[in-house]
Each structure stands twice: as C-alpha cells, then as structure tokens.
Amino acid sequence: MALAQRVEDADRGEAHHAPAVASALRTIGTERDGLACLMEAVGNGLGDAFTAAVALISGARGRVILTGMGKSGHIGRKIAATMASTGTPALYVHPAEASHGDLGMVQPEDVVVALSWSGETTELADIIGYARRYRVGLVAITSNTGSTLGREADVCLTLPKAREACPNGLAPTTSTAMQLALGDALAVALLEARGFSAREFGIYHPGGRLGASLRQVREVMHGGGQMPVVPRGTPMRAAIAEIDAKGFGSVLVVEADGRLAGIVTDGDIRRNIFRNDLDALNVEAVMSTKPRTVGPETLLAKALEIQESMKITALVVVEDGRPVGLLHYHDLLRSGVA
C-alpha cells in the first residue's frame, strides 16, 4: 500500500474515533460532577444521616442485607462484597426472590440497606414491609426522601439530584456511580470504626497477588538450621564455606549472646577479593554492621518494597535483636508477591 494511502486511512481512523473519545470525556465529566455533588451533600446535611447509618450498622449483631432491583441491585451486590471483604458480614438478597421465600435470610438482628433511585421500586415493597413488621433496621439509599422507602427507613441517605451521563437522561449512570461511591464510603467508615487491620484483610483475601502481599514474613522466611550463621571471630574461609553450604549468598554474624552483629554478602566478598590477606581475615573485617532487618510480622508487601527500594536481595528477620530468619528475594518470587 502506498504511503499516501496509509496516511489517508490513518486520518480517517482518527476522525472515526474522535466522537467516541468526546463521548467518553462527557460521560466521565458528568459522573465526576455527580460525585462532586455527593461530596458537597455529605459535607452538609447528608453527613448526619451517614453517621447515623454507620452507628446503626455497627451496633447490629447480625449482618448487612443489601437489596435493590435492576442496576441498583448490581450496585448492591458490589457493596455487599466490599463490606464482607472488609470485616462487615454482608450479603445480597434479590427483592423479587425475597417475596418467594428468601425473606427467611433476613433476621431481626440484621440491618437492611435498600437501594432505589426513585424510592418507589415495586419489588422492594415486601422486604420493606417485612423489615418494619419484625423491627429489622432499615437504611435507604435513594434520591427521594419523601418516597415510600425514604419514609419507612430508620435512616435515609438521600442522594443529590444529578444529571445522568446518558444523553437521553434515562440509563442509570451518574446515579449508580453515586450509589457505588456512597456504598464504598459506608464500607470504609465501618472498617475504620471496627479497627479492621491489614492482617484481618489478608484472612479474607488468601488468593492471588493481593493475598500473597498480605502474608507475613514469618510464613516464608528461612529459620533454624536453614539460616547461614557464624559467630563473631569466624575466619573468612569458614564464612565463605557457610555461604556456599546454605546457598543464600550471605551469612549472618552473631555475638556470643546471639544478637545480630552484621552480615557478610557476596558483594562484601567481591569488594575485598583482591586483598592478599582475605583468607587471614575474620568476618568482622568484611561484614556490614548495619544489615537491613524486618520483624517476622512484617507484611511481604512491605518486605518487597524494602528490597526493591534498597536494591538488596536478602533481609534479616530479627526478634529482640536476635536473627530468627532470613528472607531472600527468591522467597518473595515463590510466594507470588513479586
């Protein structure tokens, strides 16, 4: 194909994609404006209702039951998943299925969080009635405080009116973005109120790279007889033999009482390889006296950050100043975090 033809085709392609890009920018901008309105609302009157919702859910002995129809239902499922993964037991109940037996999933000690932009979703009627009859806590997420859902709720989180990104003003776009953001805000406020730790987060996320990064150093470090260790005063020849035997490219040097004194690495040996008296030296003459250390409870993600930022391959794991393990970069690779 001639160069002129290829340029002409490329120009046509660029022109073809320009409307799509403009559409994307309009959509994102419209949703951004909706989130800005939501932030302003939370900073004003909505903040009091939000605080009340957090208190109601935190004080419940049961679970959070998310429910909603259509797009609101999909958002409800995501909020339930986020809450469950951050220490707030939660599940989604489809409102139509609730009317055919799934109301048995809702118990008096639970709190129902119902999503409906209009607040008049027909399918929510039975679960709202059930919550009122059996004194189940009810939180509404709606744009209409005066709706059936808004009036019946113990706490009504009223979303500000905002223009949908859909050019017809019909497809839920900005509205669902605000629902999702408010649901995330609830989940985060609840985990902060509970003091939910990264360690607990790891319990609920054992799979994949995220799960690996939330494991602790003690789970993958080499300890006991696997550690390359020599006492202070050891000749370098013996120290090198220990490095070769254990295969970590380094050896830990300890005081007579077991406290960490330093580390001799392959790099230390290379920097001294041309010394005529290397064989006659003790480890003190070559070792680094301030090796990088971590505690056994350190998260693997943090250990990886230290190794990569310091450009080192091994970390000494210490407790009370004494080495209890060695963590090599290869251990992080095998764990899946690197």
Greatest distance between any 2 Cα atoms in the chain: 90
pLDDT tens digits for range 20-79: 999 999 999 999 999 999 999 999 999 999 999 999 999 999 999 999 999 999 999 999
Residue-range domain boundaries for the chain: 45-196, 217-335
pLDDT tens digits for range 267-325: 888 888 888 777 788 999 989 999 999 999 998 888 889 988 988 888 999 999 999 99
Phi-psi bin for 208: left (phi > 0), alpha (psi -120 to 50), beta?
A: left
Quick one: DSSP state of residue 280?
Answer: G
pTM of the entire structure?
Answer: 0.63
CATH 3.10.580.10 fits 217-335, yes or no: yes
Q: How many residues does the chain have?
A: 338
Q: Are 328 and 227 in contact (CB under 8 A)?
A: no
Report whether pLDDT(123) > 80.
Answer: yes
Please tell me the CATH code under which domain 45-196 is placed. Answer: 3.40.50.10490
pLDDT tens digits for range 258-280: 999 999 998 888 888 888 777 78
Residues 302 and 289: their CA atoms lie apart, in Å, by 22
Look over the chain and give the mean of its residue pLDDT values, rounded to a whole number: 89
The stretch 216-236 carries a mean pLDDT of 92
**Tokens coding 257:** 């009482």
Residues 326 and 222: their CA atoms lie apart, in Å, by 5
The stretch 140-160 carries a mean pLDDT of 97
45-196 and 217-335 share one CATH topology? no
Residues 338 and 329: their CA atoms lie apart, in Å, by 8
Measured between its terminal Cα atoms, the distance across the chain in Å is: 45
Helix/strand/coil for 252 = strand
Q: Are 318 and 258 in contact (CB under 8 A)?
A: no
